Amino acid sequence: MLHLLTEIVADGLVIGAIYALGAAGFTIIFGVSGVLNLAHGSIMVIAALVAWFCAVHLHLGIYLGGLIGIIAAIVSTYLLYWLVIRPIDRSRRIAAAEREVFVLTATLLVGLILEGVLNFAFGSSPVTTPSLVTGVLRIGGTTVPYSQILILVIAWLVLGALWYFVTRTRIGKAMLAASMSTTGLRIVGYDINKVYNLVWGLYGLLAGIAGVLLASFTGANAEIAVGLTVNAFIVVVLGGLGNVAGSLAAAYVIGFLGTLTAYLINPSIRMIPALVLLVLILYFRPQGLFGRH
């Protein structure tokens, strides 16, 4: 029993941290630009599969391969913003009240297209990048890979750096201000387009890191893209739309729910409890557990 409990806690901590990392970018994008990016999972998978290909087939190693995967995610994110989202947002042919729906639909279609392209390019079989480090830690008869511990540390270091950037730097505070009022930000002299470009780059960085870490922990293929998007959406709604701190807490709720379901019932239904929870939240507390920002 202790052995099982240790495994559940260890896996839940790591997958929760990865979900938190991915959801943080998802939340920031919504908070600042009002976009629910339904291509989110595909961006994470791009990072994961490119990292795997570079590390395994090009023999560049996990760290250089991971860096290239993250860069691929950032480039993909900027292409999505510049070629799809910004043209829709600036189009005079689309009524202002309808732009959010058009953006939502466009990101969904882009996500589906990317999933098909990735499935064709890399195949449907899940792939796993090499471990970040070797060796295991023994805890009460249970072995926890050092790589798993390092993934947890990296995820929380990145989240800590994100918190510092957003709350302690001038440009980070400008991002927060943009989530409250873009008009006010323009009045005080900020170029809102530069802020948007920074936000989307930051989102690509967070999604890319989360994707690479996920590939090292559980593996990845194109077919998990939709599930990753759904997870991020659940986390954001559960935590409160635009509430970054709430999303971090919600990511662990979803992470542990999924881990408990996988260990105690069946891995194939690990998302069901989270979906049920989402329905309950939408019905009884639509502002999320921690309120909206």
**Domain presence at residue 53:** yes
Q: What is the CATH number of the domain that holds 258?
A: 1.10.3470
Residues with Cβ < 8 Å from 238, sequence gap 6 or more? 246, 247, 250, 253, 254, 277, 278, 281, 288, 289
User: Does residue 19 contact residue 218 with C-beta atoms inside 8 Å?
Assistant: no
Q: How far apart are the first and last CA of the chain?
A: 41
User: Which of 226, 228, 205 lies closest to 217 in space, CA to CA?
Assistant: 228
User: Buried (b) or exposed (e) across 135-146, using 16+ Cβ within 10 A?
Assistant: eeeeeeebebbe
- Alpha helix stretches (DSSP H) within 34-145: 40-52, 61-80, 86-90, 99-122
**Domain presence at residue 163:** yes
* DSSP tag of 223: G
**Domain presence at residue 134:** yes
**Domain presence at residue 156:** yes
User: Does residue 48 contact residue 212 with C-beta atoms inside 8 Å?
Assistant: yes
**Domain presence at residue 21:** yes
Q: How many Å apart are CA 204 and CA 15, to the nearest integer?
A: 19
Q: How many Å apart are CA 232 and CA 237, to the nearest integer?
A: 9
Number of H helices, E strands in the chain: 12, 2
Domain count along the chain: 1
Q: How many Å apart are CA 53 and CA 36, to the nearest integer?
A: 29
What's residue 293's pLDDT?
A: 57
Compute the radius of gyration of the chain from its Cα atoms.
19
> SS3 for 220?
strand
Amino acid at the residue 198: L
**Domain presence at residue 290:** no
The per-residue pLDDT string of the chain (293 residues; one tens digit each, 9 = 90 and over) reads 667 788 888 899 999 999 999 999 898 888 888 888 999 999 999 999 999 999 999 999 999 999 999 999 999 999 999 999 999 988 888 888 888 899 999 999 999 999 999 999 999 899 999 999 999 888 767 788 999 999 999 999 999 999 999 888 888 888 877 777 676 767 777 778 888 899 999 999 999 999 999 999 999 999 999 999 999 988 888 887 767 778 888 899 899 999 999 988 988 888 898 889 888 888 888 877 776 55
Domain region containing 33: 2-284
* DSSP tag of 57: I
The whole model's pTM is what?
A: 0.94
